[in-house]
Amino acid sequence: MRHDFYRDGKKEFPLSHFVVFVDDKMQHDYSYHLVEPAGENFALDFKPELTPIEMLNMGVFEGKYLNDCRNEFPEFWFENAHLSPGRADINQNFFHVKSRLPLSEWRRRGWILEPDPRGWFQWYCRYYYGRRIPRIDEIQINRWKNFRRHKAQIEKNCYIGDLNCRARQRQALLQWAYDPFF
């Protein structure tokens, strides 16, 4: 069923009129249309276990992700977010460990896809928000599905409830919208 309105919290906007304009440190003069209501109508094989809001509230990317582009998303996404106004701070991560490679390494490995210069989480935030780019969405969803192998490794090597076991992998799962608590 096609929705004619974009829902953002308690507000509704006609989808045909909702364009997001982006101008931040990493992206200028970029805009996209929201074609789906926030958090709805995902691809059938894409079932993230956490929303971007939950991820930000729990603590991801050492508190440095999206700090300069908060205007792109609703204010309420950041009300309880663990952010670091200065340098990256592993204490902002839920598991208090570093669990990411630098952006330069993501670029070197070809993991950054236009039009999302910050990588997978930026794509996920925009997808969750309602943007769809079928070719990019398919690639990113496949990357997300492949990341599931880390959950299997934790299940195989850790006792149930031992959150200290493989904390880096658990933090990485959290940063890929998988529930790290199992």
The structure tokens 């199992």 sit at: 182
Report the number of distinct structural domains present in the chain: 1
4 found inside a domain: no
48 found inside a domain: yes
Q: Specify the pLDDT at position 123.
A: 98
pTM for the model: 0.89
Q: What is the pLDDT of residues 56-68, one digit of tens each?
A: 999 999 998 888 8
Distance CA 157, CA 180 (A): 14
Percent of the chain with pLDDT over 70: 91
Average pLDDT over every residue of 74-91: 92
Distance CA 176, CA 121 (A): 7
Percent of the chain with pLDDT over 90: 71
138 found inside a domain: yes
Please give the structure tokens belonging to residue 86: 């200065």
Task: Report which residue type is found at 26.
Answer: M
Task: Provide the CA 98 distance to its chain's centre, in angstroms.
Answer: 17
Domain that holds residue 99: 41-174
Q: Give me the chain's average pLDDT, please.
A: 90
Q: What is the pLDDT of residues 99-123, one digit of tens each?
A: 888 888 988 988 888 999 999 999 9
Please give the structure tokens belonging to residue 53: 């809001």
148 found inside a domain: yes
121 found inside a domain: yes
